[in-house]
Each structure stands twice: as structure tokens, then as C-alpha cells.
Chains A and B, each alone.
Chain A
Amino acid sequence: VRCTLNINGTDHPLLLDPRVTLLDLLREHLKLSGTKKGCDHGQCGACTVLMDGKRFNSCLALAVVQQGRRITTIEGLATGEQLHPMQAAFLEQDGFQCGYCTPGQICSAVAMLDEVRAGSPSFVTAVKAQQPVDLSEHEIRERMSGNLCRCGAYPNIVRAVQQAWRKEKA
């Protein structure tokens, strides 16, 4: 199938087998290996990328279906040498150990803050969905629960997300 996919602001004309997942396209065809393959079954979140700004597990997305969407990977978050505030926060708060889940964590966190801004409810705040979300640790852990970290760096991941959120509001 012929298609053109917009990845990190660049159009890529491609000829693809319909079976190719977005994850394999990024890693194997386009050599954008920042996005990681963990479980390849949508359970771990390591392959999280942004589709039109919304987070999605790229291992469960067919590449050919993505025509017309803007795909953003971890490689596309920074502006030149200027890190995205979430990337900077992960560095400053040491929000990782081995780093394998980190690209997924960061992409997920970026989209998660957008969801919070849009007033999207979670299991934690379902009953007060109409009010602005108070981004507590409990809330962050719930909203980031789709991204697993086998090193267990969760405390610092939470701090990194809190820092990015505070800096944005300040």
C-alpha cells in the first residue's frame, strides 16, 4: 500500500505491507529507534507516541492507517538543542534508571498533561469531572498507569511530571 505519513513534521512517502505496525515502521524503516519495543502487545507503554497530540501505543497501530495524522515521537519533541520541558524535567528529577521506558513515559506524560488541561476525568477524579484536575501524586500514578517501568523509577517519574506541570503553570 502506498501512503504518505507525517512524522515529526516531515512527510515520508512510503510503500508498505499493510501488516507493518507504526512501531516497526519507525524503528526498522525510518531508523527512529528512540521509540522502544517492550512487550509488542500494548501492555507496557514503551512504544507510546503522539498521534495528533494524543498518546497511543504504536505497537498496536497499523502504519498505513496513519495517513493524514501528525505523528510525533520522542525525537520530535525537542526544538533543535532546546529540550521539551518534560524531557528537561525527567533529566533534572532523574526520572529513570535504565531508560528503556523513558521515551514512552515522556510522550505519554506530554499528552497526559494535555488531557488534564482539557479537563479529562480519570478513575481518581471521576466524581468531580467538571472541576480543574488537582494533579496529585495519586492522580499522576493513575494517569500514567499505562507506562510500566521495570526499574521502579516511579517516584522520580512522578516528580518529573509534577515539575513539568508546575513550570507550565508558573
Chain B
Amino acid sequence: MRPFTYSRASTVDEAIRMISQDQQAKFLGGGTNLIDLMKMGVEAPRHVG
């Protein structure tokens, strides 16, 4: 899996701010889809929150 940084937003506003600062940032949610795709190298976000 490609390296990425992780941060946890405590409000909706903060989450939107974080995701809009980086084109390669992704929302994790539960992660069951994104993590699987990241393991396969289909997704390689720079930042996950």
C-alpha cells in the first residue's frame, strides 16, 4: 500500500476544509471499500481522513 497521511476531523466543516485542500485526499468512512482498493493499488490517496 502506498504511504499516506491520516487525520481525523472533529467537525463537518473541518472535514470539508481538509478534503478541499488536497486533490488527492479521500474520505475513509468505514474503509471497507477504500482500504481494499488501496491494497490492490487501484486507489493511492495522499491523505486519508
Are chains A and B native binding partners rather than an unrelated pairing?
Answer: yes
User: Chain A interface (Cβ within 8 Å of chain B)?
Assistant: 1, 17-19, 21, 40-42, 57, 60-62, 64-65
- List chain A residues, Cβ under 8 A from B35: 21, 60-62
- List chain B residues, Cβ under 8 A from A21: 35
Bound CA span A148–B8, Å = 33
B6 A18 Cβ-Cβ under 8 A? yes
Main secondary structure of the interface of A (DSSP, over half): loop
**Interchain Cβ contacts within 8 Å, total number:** 34
Bound CA span A21–B31, Å = 11
Interface size class of B (residues with CB under 8 A): 10 to 19
A19 B31 Cβ-Cβ under 8 A? no
B28 A60 Cβ-Cβ under 8 A? no
A62 B28 Cβ-Cβ under 8 A? yes
- Shortest Cβ gap from A24 to chain B (Å): 11
- Partner of B28 from the list A17, A41, A42, A65 (CB cut-off 8 Å) is A65
